[in-house]
Amino acid sequence: MASLSRLPILLLFLLITAFSSAVSQSFIGVNYGQVADNLPAPAATAKLLQSTAIKQVRLYGSDPAVIKALANTGIGIVIGIPNGDIPGLAADPNVAAQWVKSNVVPFYPASKITLVNVGNEILLTNDQGLISQLLPAMRNVQSALAAASLGGKVRVSTVHSMAVLSQSDPPSAGRFNPGFQDVLKGLLTFQRDNASPFAVNPYPFFAYQSDPRPETLAFCLFQPNAGRVDSGSGIKYMNMFDAQVDAVKSALNVIGFNDIDILVAETGWPYRGDSNEVGPSVENAKAYNGNLIQHLRSMVGTPLIPGKPVETYIFALYDENLKPGPTSERSFGLFKPDLSATYDAGLSKSSQTPSTPSPSPKPTTSSKWCVPKTGGVSDTQLQANLDYACGHGIDCSAIQPGGACFEPNTVASHAAYAMNLYYQTVGTDPMNCDFSQTATLTSTNPSYNACVYPGGGSSRVPVEAGKINMISNDGFSNVRNRLSIMKRVLLYLFLFSIY
């Protein structure tokens, strides 16, 4: 049995290890496209990635220079097989064996290859010959990986467009196109047997383009909005990303594959577009990607996949200046060729800890409070802001009956308190005081009587302000995460005592 004097040290070590593991989950990735003639050298890109919170990189091919550059960085690598290679891989297992021998074996494990995507959006090509060859190609690649002793270490999948769904609204009605169901069932059975994820490309940007209303924009950008109630499930969705992912989840459930993980292979928002394009702008791209990252770090998940973030790859690391199509197609890059950020999406390492509201926000020294703009903001919008803020894990008890800030009992007053508390709690980035452009920062302390607005350098932050509301999804998520950690700690202690 272990000496009791060693247990405190062991406990401390295990707690640190467990919490570090929980914080550093690799669920934020980026797509590294190379249809460009001005990209930085792979070695420079590898250094850039190491300076960020990005833990996964998805390639559309298997460029050896990039794979080598990412060796020993700890960054997970997803590599791709072009659509044109599928017939050869499907027809001859030796072709798959040679592909694995050339593109995976020489680099693994120094280069942390985790997934091979065979083809991209094959079902949408409507090429029946190619579609029929997809599953045999995936099987042959999987067999080749197993023969190279990489079975279970490197998974095999393929990437789908959201257009494989015939219906996605409301999310509970998510269904696959009947014409694809037989093919999908074959693919999903293979993926279940090999524990690989269903990879899909949801883009709220395109949803907004088809419905360019202000309320839709707020819904797509994770900004305060009235939400949308799923008429089938009764669930109230507060953003388009969750709605799209849950539509896929519903479709998987209907055909009997509720145990398959979903991987978001692409999602993003362009920061520039042509004059006739609706939605592209730096402000919108920053809001979408920044709020998406914050949403993933909150560990809330989606209503149908609660308590864990969906592994998500943002499109894209750089602009690809040789891509055809509208300007937006060449304007998704998070970084410029000189390695500077196009805008701040919150990817710096200093911001990679989960952004779930902390039990008691520290007073800021910025002398700023977040309040509604004067005039022109309707009670409907203020109510939406209030619902959004209080629905994201902050403690709104101060504006409940009997609370210090309940009076005056008006939507404007309650919204002002909740908006400021949200801003002070999740981080005093001006982006967190946007609320669909209905809020502003002020240096005038809005506190009154016994009602204290936290922040602004004030030392009068109420003890309860910012406490996580344990009945919220955020709260339950955090409870689950902590229980999981403690279970691991207790298991380790038990095993150690036996040893």
Find all residues with CB under 8 Å of 238, minimum gap 6, and list them: 219, 222, 225, 227, 388, 391
Alpha helices in 204-314 (DSSP H): 204-210, 214-220, 240-254, 282-297
- Partnered with residue 407 across adjacent β-strands are none
- Partnered with residue 156 across adjacent β-strands are 116
Amino acid 84 reads G
Whole-number Cα distances in Å, 337 to 37, 318, 340, 376, 386: 10, 7, 7, 42, 41
Question: 327's torsion region: left (phi>0), alpha (psi -120 to 50) or beta?
Answer: alpha
Give the CA angle between residues 131, 133, 135 to the nearest 5°.
90
What is residue 232's three-state secondary structure? coil
Q: What are phi and psi of 23, to 5 degrees?
A: -75, -35
> Active-site residue numbers?
121, 266
Find all residues with CB under 8 Å of 146, minimum gap 6, and list them: none
Whole-number Cα distances in Å, 19 to 348, 362, 425: 20, 21, 21
Token pair, residue 484, equals 């999981």
Maximum distance among all alpha carbons in the chain?
78
The dihedral through the CA atoms of 211, 382, 433, 472 has a sign that is: negative
Whole-number Cα distances in Å, 326 to 277, 280, 319, 461, 484: 8, 11, 13, 50, 47
Return the HEC string of 148-178: CCCCCCCEEEEEEEHHHEEECCCHHHCEECH
How far apart (Å, rounded) are the C-alpha atoms in residues 122 and 103?
Answer: 21
Amino acid 391 reads G
